[in-house]
Amino acid sequence: MTAVAPAAPRLVLADRVLGRSLPLDVVLVATGAALTALLAQVAVPLYPVPITGQTLAVLLVGATLGAARGAISLALYAVLGIVGLPVFSDYASGVDVILGPTGGYILGFIVSAALVGWLSERAWERQVLKALATFAAGTLVVFAVGLPWLAVALGLDVWQTLNGGLFPFLIGGAIKALIAAGLLPLAWWGAGRLEKRRAESDAA
């Protein structure tokens, strides 16, 4: 009976640039959570849901770390906020944030990072059009989880939910997806150039 060789791991940008090891994975997961916390403070106050930079962080973390590490990173971000670290928007923290109107968006970040990471493991983030589709899908997932949560938390009807939790974010979400779709193919191009220079230097 012939043994089946294990499938080769699917590389994402972090693997291509930095390699892969357990200690590095821990650092990358923590860094992803920290980036999300930082961009959460880039906010335009709105009620009931503020406009923040978190979604851009989620897209970048998922794309660069892959499905598993991306989801774990965003889960870590949520846990840090729940236990009291001021990582949510406007330096908020606590389980009340998760149980409140914006909690669904935070949980949606985890699903979004997993989806974007899964597509990135299949090289969707390396070409602009596929990258744009990837990040648009990741953005929509956040709303797919966040909007029903918002409606239940505040007792809103469909129109009130869309008015408060979707329509104000459409332009910003599109801009974030475009930024990520521009950055990731460029980063892959840069990684290829760096790898080529290293190979040329080793051959010299």
Question: What is the Cα–Cα distance from 191 to 28, expressed in whole angstroms?
Answer: 17
Whether 8 is covered by a domain: the verdict is no
In the predicted model, what is the mean pLDDT of residues 161-165?
93
Whether 6 is covered by a domain: the verdict is no
Mean pLDDT of the chain: 90
Q: Is the pLDDT of residue 1 over 50?
A: no
Whether 5 is covered by a domain: the verdict is no
Whether 2 is covered by a domain: the verdict is no
Total domains in the fold of the chain: 1
Q: Is the pLDDT of residue 8 over 90?
A: no
pLDDT band at 9 (very low <50, low <70, confident <90, very high): low
- Residue-level pLDDT at 200: 66
In the predicted model, what is the mean pLDDT of residues 112-125?
96
- Residue-level pLDDT at 121: 96
- Residue-level pLDDT at 49: 80
Cα 34 from chain centre: 12
Q: Is the pLDDT of residue 199 over 90?
A: no
- Residue-level pLDDT at 197: 77
Whether 75 is covered by a domain: the verdict is yes
pLDDT band at 4 (very low <50, low <70, confident <90, very high): very low
Whether 132 is covered by a domain: the verdict is yes
Q: Regarding predicted confidence, which is higher, 200 or 193?
A: 193
Least confident segment among 17-21, 107-111, 155-159? 17-21
pLDDT band at 178 (very low <50, low <70, confident <90, very high): very high
Can you give the residue range of the structural domain that contains 60? 13-203
Contact 186, 69 (CB under 8 A): no
> For residue 183, what are its two tokens?
């950055």
Q: What is the pLDDT of residues 59-113, one digit of tens each?
A: 999 999 999 999 999 999 999 999 999 999 999 999 999 999 999 999 999 999 9
Specify the CATH number for the domain of residue 128.
1.10.1760.20
Whether 7 is covered by a domain: the verdict is no
Closest CA relative to residue 169, chosen from 108, 124, 111: 108
Closest CA relative to residue 61, chosen from 36, 25, 80, 79: 36
Question: What is the Cα–Cα distance from 131 to 38, expressed in whole angstroms?
Answer: 24
Q: What is the DSSP string of 39-96?
A: HHTSEE--SSS-EESHHHHHHHHHHHH-HHHHHHHHHHHHHHHHTT-S-BGGGB-SHH
Q: In residues, how long is the chain?
A: 204
Whether 4 is covered by a domain: the verdict is no
Contact 32, 73 (CB under 8 A): yes
pTM: 0.90
Task: For residue 110, give the amino acid letter.
Answer: I
